[in-house]
């Protein structure tokens, strides 16, 4: 299965040696016996017309040469097939290990080396592979095992062992190793998402039921009015969650958003208009720093406006009255950078890696009070993924946070900076 050019060289060398020593053999044995022995050798190499005592020595040598050429060609073809097979297996994303009937590993592909280490340095992985190999040799059939490696980096590997035989005896064992780390992560995200959606919708829906029941029994007009206002607020909150979920679903499904040349100034203006009322209510001043000449990006205007709107809305909600939020955008090399900077609470270092997860909140109490859904930053991340962009965050507790969106630029523009206030 795993032949190489070495086999061809050996076979050719044997043939040359046979031909070189024909003269020597001929001097020591009779021609008749030599013809018979060379004819038998040709037959063993695949040429089998039958042994003839009358056949000339030249004819026998000719048949031997032809049979040797065919054998060398067969070995060469087998070697080429083996090399092709080896290269193909090396291209597989799964790791493949092959052991002989004694349990000794005779082949491992590139992925197996990367997943398990070239020397099986990881003791847990080594033990798991050895157990599968010996179990496959002793019991036959196939078996599976999931291996958790705590790293770093943390990984989950699926190992499947398959015994190989010819119907009578064991020939060896094949172990296939698959990295299921990403599948595990996606499964955890799915479970968390279902749990979080249930929890987030349960709160306003439970409040709606309780408020409606109380309102049904209330006779005081003033109290009834307050209850009706609360019902309206909770209904709006539930509606916001559903709207954000629908937006997120549409954005995730739209891996190739509509592509149009969009002015960043237009994106900024629409986003500012959406949060103007919220900024006035929370007594937050918004400063805009923009280049003299406009910059452009390629993408879906509605998704990009949603991105900047979510960043501005978060910055306003997590800032105290009297603070300032700064929206800045400019061209840098072949990219456009849009940053939203606040003077708010800041984000603890332990939470920085998780803030883009759905429904993840740094300050649950403040989120409840501001009516956030916990989906805004998740929407931002997905929009950037759809637009071949990125989003980064810099934050310090008690000082504030800066979110930076980077998008490919659509055209050349000026970079002189001016400042306006909204």
Q: How confident is the model at residue 151 (pLDDT cuts 50, 70, 90)?
A: low
Which pLDDT score is estimated for 111? 80
Question: For the chain, what's the residue count?
Answer: 422
Measured from the Cβ of residue 260, the count of other Cβ atoms closer than 10 Å reads 12
Q: Is the separation of the CB atoms in 331 and 312 below 8 Å? A: no
Q: Going from the N-terminus, what domains does the chain have, and what CATH number goes with each?
A: 5-89 (no CATH), 92-179 (3.30.450.20), 182-253 (1.10.287.130), 256-421 (3.30.565.10)
On the CB side of 358, how many CA atoms lie within 13 Å of its CA?
A: 23
Q: What is the SS3 string spanning 129-152?
A: HHHHHHHHHHHCCEEEEEEEECCC
Element (H, E) at 205: helix 181-217
Q: Over the stretch 219-244, which tens digit does the pLDDT of each residue have?
A: 888 888 888 888 888 887 787 778 77
Q: At what angle do helices 301-317 and 221-253 cross, to 10 degrees?
A: 130
Q: Over the stretch 207-218, which tens digit does the pLDDT of each residue have?
A: 888 888 888 888
Average pLDDT over residues 61-72: 67
- Alpha-carbon distance of 314 to 365, in angstroms, equals 14
DSSP state of 359: T
Cβ burial, residue 38 (10 Å; 0-12/13-18/19+): buried
Tell me which of 101-105, 206-210, 265-269, 317-321 is least confident. 101-105
Q: Over the stretch 9-44, which tens digit does the pLDDT of each residue have?
A: 555 555 545 554 555 445 444 555 665 666 666 565
Which pLDDT score is estimated for 398? 82
Q: At what angle do helices 5-20 and 57-91 cross, to 10 degrees?
A: 170
Return the closest-CA partner of residue 157 out of 196, 202, 127.
127
Which pLDDT score is estimated for 233? 80
Q: Is the separation of the CB atoms in 264 and 293 below 8 Å? A: no
Return the closest-CA partner of residue 370 out of 297, 306, 414, 318.
318
Average pLDDT over residues 278-300: 89
Q: Is the separation of the CB atoms in 239 and 208 below 8 Å? A: no
Residue that has been written with the tokens 């910055």 in this structure: 315
- Alpha-carbon distance of 327 to 422, in angstroms, equals 10
Q: Is the separation of the CB atoms in 401 and 342 below 8 Å? A: yes
pLDDT above 90 (res 317): no
- Of 100-109, 144-153, 358-367, 395-404, give the range with the top mean pLDDT: 395-404
Hey, CA dihedral for 165, 171, 173, 174, is it positive or negative?
Answer: negative
pLDDT above 80 (res 192): no
Percent over 90 (pLDDT), the chain: 13
CA 25 to chain centre: 66
Measured from the Cβ of residue 378, the count of other Cβ atoms closer than 10 Å reads 22
Measured from the Cβ of residue 24, the count of other Cβ atoms closer than 10 Å reads 9
More confident residue, 361 or 8: 361
């Amino acid at each position: 299965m795993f032949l190489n050019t070495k086999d061809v060289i050996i076979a050719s060398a044997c043939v040359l040696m046979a031909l070189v020593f024909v003269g020597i053999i001929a001097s020591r044995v009779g021609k008749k016996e030599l013809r018979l022995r060379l004819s038998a050798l040709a037959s063993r190499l695949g040429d089998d017309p039958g042994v003839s005592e009358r056949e000339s020595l030249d004819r026998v040598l000719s048949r031997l040469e032809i049979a040797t050429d065919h054998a060398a060609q067969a070995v060469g073809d087998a070697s080429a097939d083996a090399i092709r097979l080896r290269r193909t297996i090396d291209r597989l994303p799964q790791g493949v290990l092959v052991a002989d009937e004694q349990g000794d590993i005779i082949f491992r592909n590139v992925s197996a080396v990367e997943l398990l280490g070239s020397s099986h340095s990881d003791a847990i992985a080594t033990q798991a592979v050895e157990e599968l190999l010996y179990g496959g040799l002793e019991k036959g059939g196939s078996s599976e095992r999931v291996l958790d490696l705590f790293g770093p980096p943390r990984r989950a590997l699926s190992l499947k062992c398959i015994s190989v035989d010819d119907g009578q005896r064991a020939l060896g064992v094949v172990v296939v190793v698959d990295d299921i780390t990403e599948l595990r992560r996606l499964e955890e995200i799915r479970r968390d998402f279902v749990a979080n959606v249930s929890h987030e919708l349960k709160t306003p829906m439970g409040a709606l039921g309780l408020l409606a029941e109380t309102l049904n029994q209330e006779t005081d007009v003033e109290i009834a009015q307050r209850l009706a206002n609360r019902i309206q607020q909770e209904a709006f909150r539930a509606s916001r969650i559903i709207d954000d979920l629908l937006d997120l679903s549409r954005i995730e499904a739209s891996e190739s958003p509509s592509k149009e040349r969009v002015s960043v100034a237009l994106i900024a203006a629409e986003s500012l208009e959406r949060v103007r009322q919220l900024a006035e209510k929370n007594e937050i001043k918004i400063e805009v720093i923009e280049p003299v000449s406009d910059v452009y990006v390629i993408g879906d205007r509605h998704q990009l406006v949603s991105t900047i709107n979510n960043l501005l809305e978060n910055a306003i909600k997590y800032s105290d009255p009297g603070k300032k939020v700064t929206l800045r955008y400019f061209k840098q090399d072949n990219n456009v950078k849009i940053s939203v900077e606040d003077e708010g609470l800041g984000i603890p270092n332990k939470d920085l890696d998780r803030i883009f997860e759905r429904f993840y909140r740094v300050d649950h109490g403040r989120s409840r009070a501001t009516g956030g859904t916990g989906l805004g930053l998740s929407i931002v991340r997905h929009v950037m993924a759809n637009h071949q962009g990125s989003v980064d965050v810099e934050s310090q507790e008690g000082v504030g946070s800066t979110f930076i969106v980077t998008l490919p630029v659509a055209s050349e523009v000026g970079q002189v900076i001016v400042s306006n206030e909204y």
